[in-house]
Homo-oligomer: A and B are copies of this chain.
Amino acid sequence: MASTAVPSAAQETDLNTVRSRIEEVLTDFVDARMHALGQAPHGHQLAHCVREFVTQGGKRLRPVLGVLGWQAAQPKRDVPMPVLKTAAALELFHAFALIHDDVMDDSDMRRGRPSVHRTMALHHEAAGGPAPGRVGIGAAILAGDLALVWSDELLHTAGLQPAQLTAVLPLIDVMRTEIVCGQYLDLTATGRPDAGVEVALQVARYKTAKYTFERPLHVGAALAGAGEEVQAALSAYALPVGESFQLRDDLLGVFGDLRQTGKSVLEDLRDAKPTVLLAIARERATARQQALLDQLVGQRGLDEEGATRVRRVLVETGAVNAVEAMIAECHQQALQALDAAPITPHAHAALRHLAEGASWRST
């Protein structure tokens, strides 16, 4: 089922249809939850915050992959509501992960807007409340918690058959433990110049390759009753694509455009995130370059001028080229895996299209 004659524009249209159906499911679900909070008005503010976060932007990558996993394993194209709801639950779970991630990284921006803890701090301050910084963080922890709790509620009210639920729940469990532990690895490695390429790759694998690509595909395929062969083929595609996605993310996190990525291009450097890009640069740096990295990377006050000097080192050490080469290699691996995968032509074409986006995107 290898070949694909479907042009990329058609793929994009198909994916956009999935995205807008996911959007609808999410909005309907969150609105119903808010309605149910009628007797608890204090909850409305928190719920509203989750609603805004979930409905305003995001690539919807995980639900799209969930749907594609389902389409990979059976020939029907029209996606039934229980599959859509399960896929949408992945997006609510992701909202949880991002909201908590921004608290942990003390990130000011997300998707081109103030992050949730910043927004909630401003609300609290406007209402005359004390200690807005502390309350903003607390409110964001709770908003993340609520998104996680709701993700679960959406999953188990999705209308899945018992056999589907039995197939999916262990995957969801593994996924959730993996991402939480991956975040922990990221957290403890952040700011450590000695983290190295191996740790950075491990973070990329847990936070992105498995969580963003492999598990959503597995969840969707499990809904369609896929066996081990299909699941293994999806892994063989997902892991290199996920790695290339994260490597591209590392480049965009330093060389990207805020207007396109919605994220500051200083934060990764200010936080000294354990990226493969930085780890390679450290491996290859001369003493002078090493001293410059030690001085600038991890400085909370790093400015655009300092970042420019770091970028020059990343280029001059060959780290940027090395990461580009890794992306190209991952991309090739993913395409080869895809060509060998026993999946439907429709899913094949869509996954090929997604792999292009993952490796060569600018947002």
Query: Does the CB pair B45–A145 fall under 8 Å?
Result: no
Query: Does the CB pair B191–A138 fall under 8 Å?
Result: no
8 Å CB contact of A104 from B138, B148, B153: B138
Q: Note all chain B residues with C-beta closer than 8 A to A26.
A: none
Binds B, one of A14-22, A54-62, A176-184: A176-184
Given A137-B104, A176-B149, A177-B146; A124-B188 close (CB under 8 Å): yes
CA distance A162 to B156 in the complex (A): 12
Within 8 A of B (CB), among A141-179: 141-142, 144-146, 148-150, 152-153, 156, 162, 169, 173, 176-178
Tell me whether A337 is interfacial, beta carbon within 8 Å.
no
Q: Note all chain B residues with C-beta closer than 8 A to A361.
A: none
Q: Which of A124, A131, A184, A202 has most chain B Cβ within 10 Å?
A: A184
Tell me whether A357 is interfacial, beta carbon within 8 Å.
no
- Give a binary string over A216-234; 1 marks a CB under 8 Å from any B CB, 0 the rest: 0000000000000000000
CA distance A255 to B139 in the complex (A): 29
Binds B, one of A35-43, A64-72, A303-311: A35-43
Chain B residue nearest to A138 (CB atoms) is B104
Number of A interface residues in the complex (CB < 8 A):
54
CB distance from A302 to the nearest CB of B (A): 15
CA distance A137 to B298 in the complex (A): 18
Query: Does the CB pair A45–B169 fall under 8 Å?
Result: no
Q: Note all chain B residues with C-beta closer than 8 A to A33.
A: 177
Query: Does the CB pair B149–A173 fall under 8 Å?
Result: yes
Tell me whether A192 is interfacial, beta carbon within 8 Å.
yes
8 Å CB contact of A152 from B139, B152, B178, B202: B152
Chain B residue nearest to A131 (CB atoms) is B191
Q: Note all chain B residues with C-beta closer than 8 A to A245.
A: none
Copies per complex of this chain: 2
Tell me whether A88 is interfacial, beta carbon within 8 Å.
no
CA distance A131 to B127 in the complex (A): 32
Query: Does the CB pair A43–B184 fall under 8 Å?
Result: yes
Given A130-B192, A173-B149; A187-B139 close (CB under 8 Å): yes
CA distance A169 to B181 in the complex (A): 26
CB distance from A13 to the nearest CB of B (A): 36
| Other 5 A-B pairs with CB < 8 A, given A42-B188, A100-B141, A144-B145 | A40-B181, A42-B202, A96-B145, A130-B191, A146-B181
Please, could you name 14 A-B residue pairs with CB atoms under 8 Å apart, sorted by A?
Answer: A36-B177, A40-B206, A43-B177, A100-B145, A103-B141, A129-B188, A135-B187, A135-B188, A138-B187, A142-B183, A142-B184, A145-B148, A148-B148, A149-B177
